[in-house]
Amino acid sequence: MNKKILITGGAGFIGSHVIRLFVNKYKDYKIYNLDALTYAGNLENLKDIEDSPNYTFIKGDITDENFIHSIFEEYEFENVIHLAAESHVDRSIKDPLAFVKTNVLGTMNLLNAFKLCWKDNFEGKRFYHISTDEVYGTLGETGLFTEKTSYDPNSPYSASKASSDHFVRAYGETYNLPYVISNCSNNYGPNQFPEKLIPLFINNIINNKPLPVYGDGNYTRDWLYVIDHAVAIDLIFHQGINTETYNIGGFNEWKNIDLVRLLCQQMDVKLGKEKGSSERLITFVKDRPGHDLRYAIDASKVNKKLGWKPSVTFEEGLSKTIDWYLENNDWLNSVTSGEYQSYYLKQYS
Ligand code: NAD
Ligand code: TYD
């Protein structure tokens, strides 16, 4: 395996944990973090490793074709771990085209630049595309998504991710481009932007604001602690087999309303509030259009083939996550000022 790795979206939630893991663990690798620093990207997430000699930050947009080709010419990245994306379903409902641009065209630019750079010699090279379980659509009350489940995306976000997955596969079939793909369930943990369920609700409880549960709250997600996802990405990057897909999940299904109640209970204890006071903030609001009922991953392949399994229980991971947000109030305040306020009003008023 060659060691010059381009990681895209490294200033975001999952990307920052992947960058930290690789920079600290593989001192002889050169890690390049390409990120446009959208509302979701934040270099504060990487403060502790930014001066490491094996780490370089490149500010840039994956939708800029010329720029992407120029950095491949300059640095000759041997491997790509591609996480940069527009990642929030609610935003995709309001502005689907932004998702096509970054998630589909951006991925195409990376594939084309990688192909042009290495067309005569893909030996030891790899394009690792990070995707989501949402490409499989929705499950009913039973069953699990396996690597063989047909794609059936329902939101503009999941349709754009499905499209990018298909292009990665097509480049493998057509041009022998060496790739792996992983499809992961919902992540939670430190540094997640407070537009997603868990950090949004933590922030609202801190500020004594309503907790907007969509519909009846009986929607199910399979939650995974973000550092466990980063560990799975490390294993798949190094040991995964080209052209294969790996599903990653937490073996950890929760109905939204049950998760929110657990979160409220933990928050009451940590904030020294009267038992039940956070739960009183729960407010049932208009449902998300096209809301997928249930996601649940069969992660037995990555478990059996690569020996991966989650390292923390949900109760432990959630507790660590709340502690991180309570200890990093400045981070939370800085990302919820400015643009966030108008986003929040538009989404929840
Ligand atoms: P995020 O929104 O927190 O971060 C995305 C990062 O990409 C940000 O740093 C942003 O600045 C950057 N970015 C966005 N558009 C860009 C562009 N045009 N050019 C360059 N950089 C750009 O997302 P996340 O939750 O960390 O997700 C990372 C990846 O993992 C995504 O591909 C997502 O689809 C996938 N994924 C996420 C989850 C989850 O629960 N969050 C689950 C499964 C898969
Ligand atoms: P989210 O964190 O946006 O992830 P995804 O849509 O990718 O699964 O949402 C998780 C679940 O929580 C989903 O069923 C939608 C629900 N939800 C709410 O009920 N209220 C909210 O304010 C948000 C953001 C999500």
Atom of ligand 1 lying closest to residue 188 CA: 40
Q: Which residue has the tokens 């010059």?
A: 4
- Give phi and psi for 180, each to the nearest 5: -130, 155
Output Rg (C-alpha) for the chain, integer angstroms. Answer: 20
Catalytic residue flag (residue 295) = no
* E strand or H helix at 142: none
pLDDT in tens, the chain (349 residues): 559 999 999 999 999 999 999 999 999 999 999 999 999 999 999 999 999 999 999 999 999 999 999 999 999 999 999 999 999 999 999 999 999 999 999 999 999 999 999 988 999 999 999 999 999 999 999 999 999 999 999 999 999 999 999 999 999 999 999 999 999 999 999 999 999 999 999 999 999 999 999 999 999 999 999 999 999 999 999 999 999 999 999 999 999 999 999 999 999 999 999 999 999 999 999 999 999 999 999 999 999 999 999 999 999 999 999 999 999 999 999 999 989 999 999 999 8
Domains in the chain, please, with CATH? Answer: 4-188+223-248 (3.40.50.720), 197-220+253-293+312-343 (3.90.25.10)
10 Å CB burial of residue 90 (0-12, 13-18, 19+) is middle
Q: Which ligand is nearest to the CA of 10?
A: 1
The residue to mutate among 6, 63, 87, having the most atoms of ligand 1 within 8 angstroms of its beta carbon, is 87
Give the sign of the dihedral formed by CA 259, CA 264, CA 269, CA 274: negative
Catalytic residue flag (residue 219) = no
Q: What is the DSSP letter of 90?
A: H
Task: Say what the pLDDT of residue 198 is.
Answer: 99
Q: What is the whole-number distance in angstroms between the Cα of residue 197 and the centre of ligand 2?
A: 5
Catalytic residue flag (residue 133) = yes
Give the binding-site residues of ligand 2, using a 6 Å CB cut-off: 89, 186, 196-197, 200, 212-214, 219, 221, 256, 288
Give the binding-site residues of ligand 1, using a 6 Å CB cut-off: 9, 11-15, 35-38, 40-41, 61-63, 83-87, 102, 106, 130, 132, 161, 184, 186-187, 193
pLDDT digits (tens, 9 = 90+) for 115-156: 999 988 999 999 999 999 999 999 999 999 999 999 999 999
Residue 339: which of 240, 195, 230 has the closest Cα?
A: 195
Q: What is the DSSP letter of 215?
A: T
Task: Say what the pLDDT of residue 9 is.
Answer: 99
Q: What is the whole-number distance in angstroms between the Cα of residue 214 and the centre of ligand 2?
A: 8
Residue nearest to atom 28 of ligand 1 (CA): 83
Contact 277, 330 (CB under 8 A): no
Task: Say what the pLDDT of residue 2 is.
Answer: 54
pLDDT digits (tens, 9 = 90+) for 271-282: 999 999 999 999
- Residue 181 CA to residue 187 CA, distance in Å, equals 17
- Residue 68 CA to residue 115 CA, distance in Å, equals 12
Amino acid in position 178: P
- Residue 117 CA to residue 228 CA, distance in Å, equals 32
- Residue 107 CA to residue 85 CA, distance in Å, equals 9
Contact 127, 183 (CB under 8 A): no
Task: Say what the pLDDT of residue 120 is.
Answer: 80
Q: Which ligand is nearest to the CA of 59?
A: 1
Contact 75, 28 (CB under 8 A): no
Percent pLDDT > 70 in the chain is: 99
- Across the strands, what pairs with 127? 80, 179
